[in-house]
């Protein structure tokens, strides 16, 4: 099988707010969501493409079908390709969308396929195919909660995904099962079997807070888990935000205006 992927060198910088710097040889390219771009050297050309760039040499119909796969995951119809048109090595960087870790995925070491949360994808070497992972069971997607329609990355090149908070890696043996909050899944290898299960018990139903369903992942394979899914972070921020133009009574309420000065809110 011929290698159609672009082999890229990279370096990940930072601790809590990371970015990945990718070194491109002449005529090498990466594809990314437009919102993840951070900075680039001169001689790197940006171009909007259908889908993921894996079939740009195919027919127009093929390009549109690739774009259609991305529509199903709720992402943009287009992606941005960053191509080095110069005569020497150039660098382009992509930033994490919120605090967490960037996870490099070498698909050649993952049997050519990796399944990830639909909003985890950051960027990849041009030629990595990005599409939807269709579920075998009706329960998935309907009851999966936030973001449990999965993306699949296929090929033999490098891809980069983002995990919120702290990243955990779990190695599951054959038949070994791990139960995870659906939003906390970053991704897993191709042989992991996954399904959605109802959280039983009236206490869970009434007071659970995180939803009534969780993911059941069965080995063999590797599972990557994030401690801070963006949906959970956004929910906490929204819950703490002042409503109706008023001030959150949790901020400086004991000391009043003096408390506002102490906690950094010095607006009058």
pLDDT tens readout for residues 175-208: 999 999 888 999 999 999 988 776 666 565 555 5
Q: What is the pLDDT of residue 101?
A: 94
Q: What is the pLDDT of residues 28-61, one digit of tens each?
A: 999 997 789 999 999 999 988 776 666 555 555 5
**If you average pLDDT over residues 119-131, what whole number do you get?**
86
Could you tell me if 193 and 217 are in contact, meaning their C-beta atoms sit under 8 angstroms apart? yes
pLDDT tens per residue, range 19-28: 999 999 999 9
Most confident range, picked from 116-125, 155-164, 254-263? 155-164
Each residue of 199-230: pLDDT tens digit? 666 565 555 554 567 888 999 999 999 998 88
* Counts of helices then strands in the chain (DSSP H, E): 5, 19
At residue 1, the pLDDT reads 38
Write the CB contacts of 21 (distance below 8 Å, at least 6 apart in sequence): 10, 11, 12, 13, 91, 92, 93
Q: What is the mean pLDDT of residues 154-182?
A: 93
What is the pLDDT at residue 242?
81
Report pLDDT for 64.
54
């Amino acid at each position: 099988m011929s290698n159609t992927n672009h082999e890229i060198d990279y370096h990940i910088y930072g601790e809590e707010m990371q970015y990945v710097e990718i070194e491109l040889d002449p005529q090498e390219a990466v594809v990314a969501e437009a919102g993840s771009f951070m900075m680039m050297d001169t001689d790197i050309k940006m171009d909007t493409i259908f889908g993921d760039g894996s079939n740009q040499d195919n027919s127009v119909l093929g390009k549109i079908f690739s774009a259609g796969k991305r529509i199903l995951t709720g992402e943009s119809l287009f992606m941005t390709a960053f191509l080095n048109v110069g005569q020497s090595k150039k660098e382009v960087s992509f930033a994490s969308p919120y605090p967490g870790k960037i996870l490099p995925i070498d698909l050649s070491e993952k049997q050519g396929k990796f399944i990830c949360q639909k909003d985890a994808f950051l960027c990849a070497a041009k030629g990595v195919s990005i599409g939807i992972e269709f579920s075998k069971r009706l329960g998935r997607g309907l009851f999966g909660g936030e973001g449990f329609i999965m993306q699949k990355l296929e090929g033999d090149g490098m891809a980069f995904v983002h995990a919120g908070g702290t990243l955990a890696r779990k190695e599951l043996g054959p038949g070994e099962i791990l139960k995870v909050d659906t939003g906390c899944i970053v991704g897993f290898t191709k042989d992991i079997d996954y399904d959605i299960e109802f959280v039983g018990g009236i206490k869970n139903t009434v007071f659970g807070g995180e939803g009534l369903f969780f993911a059941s992942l069965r080995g063999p394979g590797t599972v990557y888990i994030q401690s801070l899914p963006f949906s959970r972070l956004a929910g906490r921020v929204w819950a703490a935000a002042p409503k109706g133009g008023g001030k959150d009574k949790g901020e400086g309420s004991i000391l009043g205006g003096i408390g506002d000065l102490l906690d950094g809110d010095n607006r009058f």
